[in-house]
Structure 1
Amino acid sequence: MGGVLDGVDQRTKLAGHNRFELLLFKLGRRQRFGINVFKVQEVIQCPPLTQIPNSHYVIRGVAHLRGKTIPVLDLSMAIGMRPLSSEEGGYVIVTEYNRSIQGFLVASVDRIINIGWEQVKAPPTGAGRESYLTAVTDVDGELIEVIDVEKVMKEVIGGREEAAAETIDQEVSGMNDHVLIVDDSSVARNQIKRVCEQIGLDCTVLKDGLEAWEHLSQLVADGVRIQDRYAMIISDVEMPRMDGYTLATKIKSDPAMRDIYLILHTSLSGVFNTAMVQKVGANEFLAKFDPDSLLTAIQKQLKQHHGFN
């Protein structure tokens, strides 16, 4: 299965063209789920796991891989389905999210598909696992569910939600600036919003790149100067309908919008993102989720926005 993840350089060419590759897998016998290939380091047959006392109930144990010890989460349990049977073996999808490496135990791994983000939609209202879905897409007449991994990670791993008090810069706190937040994960939107509110920022929150692009285009059509409305835009990369790389490319190619400060804030990690920030014209890349780093970046831009030294 490792060979299916070869050719990363070729896959990077998809970014910025509103396309990506989705690794399909199963948690049971029928329903297929998906995860972005760029978040996957490798796929292995489930190795022997070492149990950890008092760990979260969805953590099946830790695996020792190439000198590293990583937690392995039962992804089926994490989204409210039945536990995967240890007798069935299964596979571990080793991923990097939010500056950490972990494995997700799944029943089986299917294949990788190349699709456009415009084919990915918000989950239907009333879906049984709605709270754990960030998107859905149709593949060969079957509905593929994309799991909100940020929600899973928050519930299992936890983490600090607000920046440390000593990070707050009183020089820019309480200025009532306005920030546009674009992210398909409700967990991520709320995390960013909480950090912004620590220094009194107003927030407009949108769910994907297309919604943000239509919003910004309407403001321009109404004669609004984008920099007067927003001090900055903080956008995710992986989003249904239009991804953050494509949104950044469109904003920075539009004379009426190109001067707005744009931060790409994503759980996708690695040096690849540094190159992509330059390619699409974004001003900064931040890996999720470090509230201190996020607030520091926000305050730095606010000082520039107001002409502080």
Structure 2
Amino acid sequence: MSELKKSEILTESGTNELEIIEFHLHKTLAGGGHKVCHYGINVAKVREVIRVPDTSDYPNAQSHMVGVFSLRDNLIPLVDLAGWLGIPTQNDLEHKVVIVTDFNRMINGFLIDSVRSIHRVSWEQVESPSQFLEAGEQDCVVAVVRREGHLIMVLDFEKIIADINPELSMDKYDVTLDKTVVINDEMLAKREAKTILIVDDSAFIRKMIENTLRTAGYNIITAKDGGDALEMLEEFERLAEEAGASVSEMVSGIISDVEMPRMDGLHLLKRLRDKPSYKTMPIVMFSSLMSEDNRGKALALGANDTITKPEIGRMVTMVDSFVL
């Protein structure tokens, strides 16, 4: 598969659909045979699929780093995905390929065994892994798709990259050291009166945003996907109506990811803006795929603003500007 044409990637707003690339890792079994493991990644995160390039060793690299290679003037790290996942595979590089990803303003290469096909699916068909297991912060599967009698595990590539290169991780951000964020008794008191809902399918990302906003003083509630968030907000709406109050007294603002199981962030945004209770509630979209095109779609659907995932340092001041 050569460089992916962006025109082929799903571009409709709020349709609750996505396209995933199914790829395989061939697990070597103790008896000498092998088992095909099915994995997935959002097409929008993939720049291209290439043959395994010549790589140069990088000094003191993380154990699953194969090396670095040059592609179209970019110096790109190549990660042994099977090694990181703890899956034994054959070392025959001649029969492997590389998925080149481009998100969070970073380009990375992931060594895999083969690419199967592209599937267009509704987010409603994408299941949360918590239905199969108790997903914690260390879990690297964000969604599961059933296809042709097998399960495709959609991986949390942000988590994988943060683990391999911690220096590039948003986890390094410390709001208490940020000179642009005011943290004094007056601001803490103002923020403590406000509750923010964080919606993200990655437990790793959810915890990071929660820690940042809690440290600044905000009360936080979380949802693991758009469907979970909508159910929670509908319950708040019911309780507010019973109490003769406004939903905004319970939730002051929402920060939502875009790609999530069951219901994506743009579809959630569209559904909320159709309800009178959420017409004016501050909603910020926070995504690794926030291109200018996606930003335009989010704003057209009613988002107050957008943030690309590496820019977590903008989070507190942006939330302050909308809810205080």
TM-score, structure 1 length as denominator? 0.91
Quote the residue 1:233 is aligned against. 254
Instruction: Note the C-alpha offset of 1:10.
Output: 5.7
* Match of residue 152 from structure 1: 160
1:135 to 134, 139, 143: 143
User: Does the Cα contact within 8 Å between 2:25 and 2:89 map onto a contact in 1?
Assistant: no
Query: What residue number does 2:22 align with?
Result: 24
| Mapped pair 1:194 → 2:200 | no
Match of 2:188 in 1: 173
Candidates 101, 116, 123, aligned match of 2:107: 101
1:112 matched residue in structure 2: 118
Q: Does the Cα contact within 8 Å between 1:120 and 1:137 map onto a contact in 2?
A: yes
> C-alpha distance in 1, partners of 2:255/2:63?
34
Q: Deviations over 1:259-305 (max 9, x none)?
A: 1100110111422212211232111110103331222222222xxx3
For residues 215 and 84 of structure 1, the distance between their equivalents in structure 2, rounded to whole angstroms, comes to 46
Q: Partners in 1 of 2:85 and 2:9 — Cα distance? A: 32
Residue 321 of structure 2: aligned partner: 300
- 1:12 corresponds in structure 2 to 11
Give % identity: 32
Contact 2:20–2:41 under 8 Å retained in 1: yes
SS of structure 2 residue aligned to 1:289:
helix
Distance change >3 Å, CA 287–CA 7, structure 1 → 2: closer
In structure 2, the residue corresponding to 1:167 is in which secondary structure?
coil
* Cα separation, 2, equivalents of 1:83 and 1:55: 21
| Secondary structure of 1:179 counterpart | strand
1:50 is matched with: 56
- Residues 253 and 9 from structure 1, CA distance in 2 versus in 1: closer, same or farther, beyond 3 angstroms? farther
- SS of the residue aligned with 1:17? coil
Q: Provide the aligned C-alpha RMSD in A.
A: 1.9
Structure 2, unaligned stretches of length 5 or more?
27-34
Per the alignment, residue 204 of structure 1 pairs with: 221
How many pairs does the alignment contain? 299
How high is the TM-score relative to the length of structure 2? 0.87
Worse-matched range after superposition: 273-282 or 57-66? 273-282
**Is the alpha carbon distance of 1:96 and 1:226 closer, same or farther for their aligned partners in structure 2, counting shifts above 3 Å?**
farther
Q: Find the counterpart in structure 1 of residue 2 from structure 2.
A: 2
Rate the CA distance shift 1:180–1:24 in 2: closer, same or farther, 3 A. Answer: same
